[in-house]
Amino acid sequence: MTILQKIAQARLLSKALASATKLLSERGESNSASMATDLLTSYKSLTDDQKATFLSNLATQFNPEPAAVTTAAQNYAAKPSAKSLIELTKVAEPPRQELLRRINRSPGGTVGLLEMRRDLFKLLSKNAELAAVDYDLRHLLQSWFNPGFLKMHQVDWRSPALILEKIIQHEAVHEIDGWDDLQRRLQPDRRCFAFFHPQIPDTPLIFVEVALVQDIPAAVGPLVDKKSAVSASNSPRVAVFYSISNCEPGLRGVSMGNFLIKRVAEHLKAEFESLRTFVTLSPIPGFMDWVIAGAKVGETNPKLAIPQRLEKALDTLNLKKQSWPERLSGGWSPETATPADKEALESLCSIYLMFVTPEKNGNQVAKFHLSNGAKLNRINWAADLSKKGLRQSAGLMVNYLYDLATVEENHEKFTQGEIISSRLVSRLV
């Protein structure tokens, strides 16, 4: 980079920082759209290091005034009233949130903020102060991407190529192997539903892939085999949600899934009166990592026998003698595993899903479905024989059952730390 280029680049950073301050001024209130556009244009032209400087500035220069917050908090504590509460709320909110709101008013502002948050993710581990910026962004995005704003559309082979390409690109559970694979997933015995936000109409935020079958599946292979025969039945009994993918990394941690599965299920129920069961076939990422790390369960676990079960299962696997990667490279598979290995892994998996899921670092897939009101229904042996499936969960997968009559009740119980499970699962503990 030449000296002139460096000077021009430095001016861009100065302009972006100054634009942020101006956008919060009274003038910024009346001209927020155009000023926000200028700010985003400058930000996008910054180098990675300059973006880090800009975001650090947001973290340090747009915080509430400590003295004002202290005074308002003392006033509210001394005399709790609507007036004192409103005042406390006003002074405690970081000015940064209003800055982000004004940025969002510009054309392309929502997309710009999502890109900014993606940049933020790269820096959080290096700068703890940036957590405040991420918190404010996540707080606002949670409101702007409320599930009530999302529009559901069925995706089929006639959908715009741009949408189909994004589905191939963002499939996060079972990779789509080209256009012929996608076409198989859009045949009459399959369905794909995508959820869109009005501000980003060309990008599906979440898409759900469904297989229409006669029985609850115990393995994913037949569902994602692009050479499988298309069912001729027009009266499926089971709808299987076998893949749910998020297409926007900038929305990580922003919950949009609440009851989206129920919306898909109700749509399918209206289309097929024969449907009786709505179920997933879900991966268990993180399960073997938990086992390898020693299979720890929180001290508040109510089951006194759990530690003994864990110890017995771990002794059976004896991963200290031969690590899990070594076993896999040596040819271990569920199909040739010993009965003792099967019993140990199924027991560990049931404990992991039932007692580790509610913890802070619990399984995110389980959290998603259980918080949506599903029931932990069945653990399936030898369900995913792919390299990824063997590495992350020893080939195990799980069925989460959606009973449309009880999803709200199950959701409430999960928020209180209770997991609804079937006897098929609980007896494995």
Q: Cβ distance 204 to 167 under 8 Å?
A: yes
Tokens coding 221: 């292979």
- The values of phi and psi at residue 240, to 5°, are -110, 120
Q: Cβ distance 372 to 259 under 8 Å?
A: yes
> Catalytic site residue 153?
no
Query: Among residues 197, 369, 393, 421, which one is catalytic?
Result: 369
The region, left, alpha or beta by phi > 0 then psi within -120 to 50, assigned to residue 417 is left
The amino acid occupying position 55 is L
Quickly count: other Cβ atoms within 10 Å of residue 373's Cβ. Answer: 24
DSSP states of 315-363: HHH-TTTS-HHHHHHTT--TTT--HHHHHHHHHHHHHIIIIITTSTTS-
Query: Among residues 42, 282, 350, 421, which one is catalytic?
Result: 282
- The values of phi and psi at residue 354, to 5°, are -85, -35
Q: What angle do CA 63, 129, 139 make, to 5 degrees?
A: 65
| Pairing mode, strands 375-380 and 277-280 | unpaired
Tokens coding 182: 């996608």
Distances (CA, A) of 112 to 32, 38, 104, 137: 15, 12, 8, 12
> Catalytic site residue 143?
no
Alpha-carbon gap, residue 418 to 410, rounded angstroms: 9
DSSP 368: H
Please choose, from the candidates 218, 257, 133, the residue with its C-alpha nearest in 3D space to the C-alpha of residue 399.
Answer: 218
The span from the first CA to the last CA of the chain, in angstroms, equals 62
Q: What angle do CA 399, 379, 376 make, to 5 degrees?
A: 50
3-state secondary structure 97-153: HHHHHHHHCCCCHHHHHHHHHHHHHCCCCCCHHHHHHHHHHHHHHHHHCCHHHCEEE
Residue reference for tokens 């509210």: 76
Alpha-carbon gap, residue 166 to 208, rounded angstroms: 13
Active site residues: 282, 369
